[in-house]
Amino acid sequence: MKEIQDSGKVWCKGSNRPVHAVRVGNKIFATGKGEDQTIECWVDGDVLCVDLHEREIRIARKIPLDLEPTLQGTLFNGFTHTKHADVLIVSSDHDRIEEKIVSGEAYRTGQYNSMSSREFWNKATGRGTNEQ
């Protein structure tokens, strides 16, 4: 069973600041986490599930684990179980990544602020976390 082995920040070539990323197996995945967002990530089958939350916006991001890394970068900080190295990174804006954004009135009336990540994922994707 695949799982997240490590997390931290990576510096992608050409970017002006490091970005949050996780390691699953031998691949590094940029999650797209913003500066003020909270994040929870987990692996479900062949998908990296990402819950990003900030104020009245919540994003469910579904990242296929079979995506090929294309961004050059370097492990920056936070990784404790991964040797510092230059790496290839799976971009958080790949066209095969699915996401659902809940904001505004839907966020308020749906009580998305008080849901656990798994509850949010189930509601936002319309299915259980074990269904693909």
Whether 130 maps to a domain, the answer reads no
Whether 115 maps to a domain, the answer reads yes
Q: Are 33 and 39 in contact (CB under 8 A)?
A: yes
Whether 57 maps to a domain, the answer reads yes
- Would strands 19-24 and 4-12 be described as parallel, antiparallel, or unpaired? antiparallel
pTM of the model: 0.89
Whether 131 maps to a domain, the answer reads no
Whether 119 maps to a domain, the answer reads yes
Per residue in 40-80, pLDDT (tens digit) is 999 999 999 999 999 899 999 999 999 999 999 999 888 99
Q: Which two tokens stand for residue 104?
A: 């505004």
Note down the domain range covering 71: 4-125
Per residue in 96-124, pLDDT (tens digit) is 999 999 999 999 998 898 899 989 988 88
DSSP annotation of 46 reads T
Q: How many domains does the chain have?
A: 1
Q: Which two tokens stand for residue 36?
A: 């003020």
Whether 12 maps to a domain, the answer reads yes
Whether 23 maps to a domain, the answer reads yes
